Chains A and B, each alone.
Chain A
Amino acid sequence: MTTTTIIGLEVHVQLLTNSKIFCGCSSAFNPHQPNVQTCPVCLGLPGSLPVMNRRAFELAVKTALALNCDIAPFTKWDRKQYYYPDLPKGYQISQYDLPFSDDGALEIEVGGEGGGTRKIGIIRAHLEEDAGKNVHDETGRGTDSQVDLNRAGTPLLEIVSQPDLRSPQEAKRYLEELKLLLTYLNVSDCNMQEGSLRCDANVNLHIHQDDGHKVATPIVEIKNLNSFRNVELAIEFEVKRQYEEWEKTGKKMGEVAKETRGWDAARGKTVPQRGKEEASDYRYFPDPDLVPVTVSAELLDSIRATLCEFPADRRERFKGTYGLSDYDARVTVDQGQAFADYFEEVAGLCGDGKQACNWVTQDVLREMNERNLSIGEFPIRAAVLGNLLERIAKKQITIKSAREVFLELLAENPSRRPISSAHIDQIIAEKGLALVTDTGELEGVIAEVVGKNPKAVADFKAGKQAAVGALIGQVMKAVKGADPQTVRTMLVEKLGNP
């Protein structure tokens, strides 16, 4: 008996507009001053009317295009009706039967090196308004709940995937790729802590029995997933739980109502949620306060013109242009657009993509993480690092010396003054790191080292190639910027070929 995990994700993304979707209020995240970013429209006051924010629509279309969706030439707004204190009109303006886009796909990389890619279908993407936020007393003193409507009316893009994901890891990978794409498009800041990216997961199992029959377990929707890690953990838990539940009860899909469960991160389990979904009838109907939107070919062209290179394309280009491996291309691109831009600038300046990638994904990333800095905040700008690496390529310093300069640049920068290439010259001069290819200077040192190490010399002469390494090390120690290649050549010459 084998099982297949079936996962579909619903992702809600707040779009990066200045103002809300149906009024002019700011849509900035502001939990500390409740209800200041409100007006009659987003408060749902009697007599107020919504007017569509064109920018929100354009950002939504841009995203849908990047997800390879079809864009409907005609789309409309519907009211989704339910009562909740954070929903001041008693309905949410959303899109029901004619979403502005559908039938797209997002390609994700699966497995490790050479694992290939898989296309995850996108059922639809539609635009709607966000609700406000109910703030409950969490001290247990039971005081009244309060409602903050700052968030009410923030443009929200809902992206619904096909149930094409087959493991918790794939689900996480899909979310990472989606987030990366959204940040590349600059349509959302995707900040999960602030709620600008939210995810619900629909999960069930297909159990393939030994007699060839396939059984589907009831679909469960998991909510309250506030990080990608939690999405992965919650689905892992749910897979196990559903299998055990099936073994216990034998209940199949269709035999019980769709269940909504919440992820309890502290206890590491999903728990049943009081069913808002239960027998819900949202009584959708077209919003008579808004006019349908027609999308012209000109509008589509103008939005298409704003599309940038997508992460997947960029990875391919990095492999081709800079000779990066699958792994390196992924690490470089997945860190975000600014990071990949940084890499490209460094690679361009030093003319060695592989070298640049090593530095950026190892040294820079490590120091960024240690200092908790973003690439934008990292004190060594790409131009400076490019300059440093260029010196390696031009044999002005060794890689080892360059690392020393790199660390020195960071260390001597408590006041966060801008670091320039002049600092590199200064450090090289102070520490005497300039590569010494002057054979005159080296000759004396080599003679001295050879004299002091008769055993190694004898070994080398007896045919032990490795013995020369110890001698090179001693020369290098004595002459800081010595070029190891030059030293080796001179030593071998002095000792005579074995």
Chain B
Amino acid sequence: MSILGATAGELVKRLDRGDVTSIDVTTAYLEAIAAADGKVNAFLHVNRDKALEQARAIDEKRRRGQCVGALGGLPVAIKDVICTQGEPTTCGSRMLERFVPPYDAHVISRLREADAVLIGRTNMDEFAMGSSTENSAYKTTSNPWDLTRTPGGSSGGSAAAVAACMAPLALGSDTGGSIRQPAGFCGVVGMKPTYGRVSRYGLVAYASSLDQIGPFANDVGGAALLLETIAGHDHRDSTSVAAAVPEYSRTVEEPLTGLRIGIAKEHFVSGLDQQVEAAIRNALEVYRSLGAEIKEVSLPHSKYAVAVYYIVAPSEASSNLARYDGVHYGHRAAHFDNMIDMYCASRAEGFGAEVKRRIMLGTYALSAGYYDAYYLKALKVRRLIRNDFDAAFREVDVIASPVAPTPAFKIGELVNDPLAMYLSDIYTISANLAGLPGISIPAGFSQTNLPIGLQLLAPPFEEERLLRAARMFERETDWHRRRPASAPG
């Protein structure tokens, strides 16, 4: 059985049994990266020697009979927005081209404790702003299923890396759908945990009240394993919640009985691709055959979600990105006349167009005279969106929907139409605004062989329910087992 393309669970078992070593597994993935990433461009930075060094140390630990962590030598790819001590963390921006954090993010510490091998840094839209990974200052990542198409974004590099079998697991961040939408586009499992479930300490902030780190894997079990590793309270993040973390990887195999699945009528409207709709309807039939009850629910304020998001997220971003001023770290212009000019020139040179667009949007929305009409109003509508979900979840256990209105679009197709690009997150954004957990799982393919994702949402801190519901479907289908032709192995 090949290493590449195996699930994380299978690999951990084989590592534990001693069938393979971490060196074997890490080498196989490094070779896969060498073979495939020239075309896919999922990675910004791969430190081969460092990865092998970690693999060797973990093998040595195991050989000595020492206790080895839950990931036991398994490689994990990291979105380049999560601080890792001594590793470049560019956020896909020229602004942080030479920035090397002096500290580990909380999730990186957790991965090290779990004996993961940090195999490389994945490409992303600059500062996680985008839905196609085309806003990276460094490279454009391709969708492994069709290299002329985008992998989605902003965590497109992580999704593509897992889809193309260049890593069994990856971390991404999700502010408006940045894990779930690329997972859907690339045919892998991607999950955004409840806001507060995973510490944001060390996650470079885009929109602090929406950002959440989550896992990518090629099956639900892998996502459960990785989430279990990174979830839990961290005193360094005031918004992190001190709630017990269930053993997701153990309970994931237990099906839910009497599952009530909600579908929102507002989700099946114009703009939704027919093939996507068909795949979702088909998925609901699978659930029905498993004894689930499908109920219609209403999310009347969901139509405002994109508008609310594009006020709240840019407002926070305009503030969060103020620190990149060329004074203490990051890009500083070579030529400037005075202090103000240094700020202006450094930021003009360091940021790309989409980042500038959102900084301007947010600065405007927070300005005196506009705050009440925009930011404050958006917060109120945000609350109404959450209330919709609270009401719906009194009727159902999970809500099913498409992940995105269409399968992966062409590279370049939407770059000049920001509004159309923003709409590709229409199904995912509400979960961030409401703080809910959501998962994207492979649920079919288009006629042109592009993956289609199914999204499931659950009430806050019900990740366990979400994973078990997703696994029920996965067990009955084999969409998740397909691998793109571009993948090595």
Of B113-121, B360-368, B468-476, the one contacting chain A is B360-368
Query: Given that A88-B327, A89-B322 are contacting pairs, would A285 and B366 also be in contact in the complex, using a CB cutoff of 8 Å?
Result: yes
Contacts of B268 in A (CB 8 A): none
Q: Are A47 and B101 in contact (CB under 8 A)?
A: yes
**Chain B window 79-99, contacts with chain A (Cβ cutoff 8 Å), 1 for yes, 0 for no:** 000110000010100001001
Q: Are B238 and A91 in contact (CB under 8 A)?
A: no
Interface positions of B (Cβ within 8 A of A): 82-83, 89, 91, 96, 99, 101-103, 105, 200-205, 207-209, 235-239, 315-316, 318-319, 321-323, 325, 327-329, 339-340, 343, 363, 366-368, 371, 375
Q: Are A85 and B329 in contact (CB under 8 A)?
A: no
Of A37-45, A195-203, A435-443, A465-473, the one contacting chain B is A37-45
Output the nearest chain A residue to B83 by Cβ-Cβ distance: A47
Q: Are A48 and B322 in contact (CB under 8 A)?
A: no
Q: Is A52 an interface residue (CB 8 A)?
A: yes
Q: Is A50 an interface residue (CB 8 A)?
A: yes
Q: Are A49 and B238 in contact (CB under 8 A)?
A: yes
Contacts of A303 in B (CB 8 A): none
Contacts of A90 in B (CB 8 A): 319, 321-323, 325
Output the nearest chain B residue to A52 by Cβ-Cβ distance: B238
Contacts of B204 in A (CB 8 A): 46-47
In the complex, A90 Cα to B363 Cα: how many Å?
Answer: 13
Inter-chain contact count A-B, CB under 8 Å?
96
Q: Is A490 an interface residue (CB 8 A)?
A: no
Question: Would you list which residues of chain A between 255 and 305 have a CB under 8 Å from chain B?
Answer: 281, 283-285, 288-291
Interchain residue pairs with CB less than 8 A apart (30): A40-B101, A40-B102, A40-B103, A45-B101, A45-B102, A45-B103, A46-B205, A47-B82, A47-B201, A47-B205, A49-B236, A50-B238, A51-B235, A51-B236, A52-B238, A81-B319, A83-B343, A89-B322, A89-B323, A90-B323, A91-B319, A147-B327, A147-B328, A283-B368, A283-B371, A288-B207, A288-B209, A289-B208, A291-B238, A291-B239
Question: Would you list which residues of chain A between 34 and 71 have a CB under 8 Å from chain B?
Answer: 40, 43-52
In the complex, A88 Cα to B323 Cα: how many Å?
Answer: 6
Q: Is A79 an interface residue (CB 8 A)?
A: yes
Query: Given that A89-B322, A285-B319, A288-B209 are contacting pairs, would A48 and B327 also be in contact in the complex, using a CB cutoff of 8 Å?
Result: no
Chain B interface, >50% SS class: loop
Output the nearest chain B residue to A90 by Cβ-Cβ distance: B322
In the complex, A390 Cα to B340 Cα: how many Å?
Answer: 70
Q: Are A46 and B325 in contact (CB under 8 A)?
A: no
Q: Are B328 and A44 in contact (CB under 8 A)?
A: yes
Output the nearest chain A residue to B362 by Cβ-Cβ distance: A283
Contacts of B207 in A (CB 8 A): 288
Contacts of B202 in A (CB 8 A): 47-48
Contacts of A50 in B (CB 8 A): 238
Contacts of B101 in A (CB 8 A): 40, 45-47
Q: Are A49 and B322 in contact (CB under 8 A)?
A: no
**Chain A window 367-401, contacts with chain B (Cβ cutoff 8 Å), 1 for yes, 0 for no:** 00000000000000000000000000000000000
* B98 smallest CB distance to A (angstroms): 13
Query: Given that A89-B323, A90-B325, A290-B238 are contacting pairs, would A49 and B366 also be in contact in the complex, using a CB cutoff of 8 Å?
Result: no
Contacts of A290 in B (CB 8 A): 238
Query: Given that A45-B101, A50-B238 are contacting pairs, would A288 and B208 also be in contact in the complex, using a CB cutoff of 8 Å?
Result: yes
* A335 smallest CB distance to B (angstroms): 42
Contacts of B329 in A (CB 8 A): 45
- Residue of B89, B236, B367 near A46 (CB, 8 A) is B89
In the complex, A85 Cα to B332 Cα: how many Å?
Answer: 13
Contacts of A49 in B (CB 8 A): 200-201, 236-238
Contacts of A44 in B (CB 8 A): 323, 328
In the complex, A89 Cα to B208 Cα: how many Å?
Answer: 14
* A278 smallest CB distance to B (angstroms): 13
Q: Are B323 and A46 in contact (CB under 8 A)?
A: yes
Q: Are B102 and A83 in contact (CB under 8 A)?
A: no
Instruction: Pick the most buried of A47, A147, A284: most chain B CB atoms within 10 A of its CB.
Output: A47
Output the nearest chain B residue to A279 by Cβ-Cβ distance: B368
Output the nearest chain A residue to B235 by Cβ-Cβ distance: A51
* B384 smallest CB distance to A (angstroms): 18
Contacts of B200 in A (CB 8 A): 47, 49
In the complex, A335 Cα to B116 Cα: how many Å?
Answer: 63
Q: Are A51 and B323 in contact (CB under 8 A)?
A: no
Q: Are A48 and B102 in contact (CB under 8 A)?
A: no
- Beyond the given A46-B101, A283-B371, could you list 4 further A-B residue pairs with CB under 8 A, ordered by the A residue number? A44-B328, A89-B322, A283-B368, A288-B207
Contacts of A81 in B (CB 8 A): 319, 322, 366
* A436 smallest CB distance to B (angstroms): 74
Output the nearest chain A residue to B102 by Cβ-Cβ distance: A40
* A145 smallest CB distance to B (angstroms): 9
In the complex, A89 Cα to B204 Cα: how many Å?
Answer: 13
Contacts of A284 in B (CB 8 A): 366
**Chain A window 69-87, contacts with chain B (Cβ cutoff 8 Å), 1 for yes, 0 for no:** 0000000000101010100
**Chain A window 212-225, contacts with chain B (Cβ cutoff 8 Å), 1 for yes, 0 for no:** 00000000000000
Q: Are A283 and B367 in contact (CB under 8 A)?
A: yes
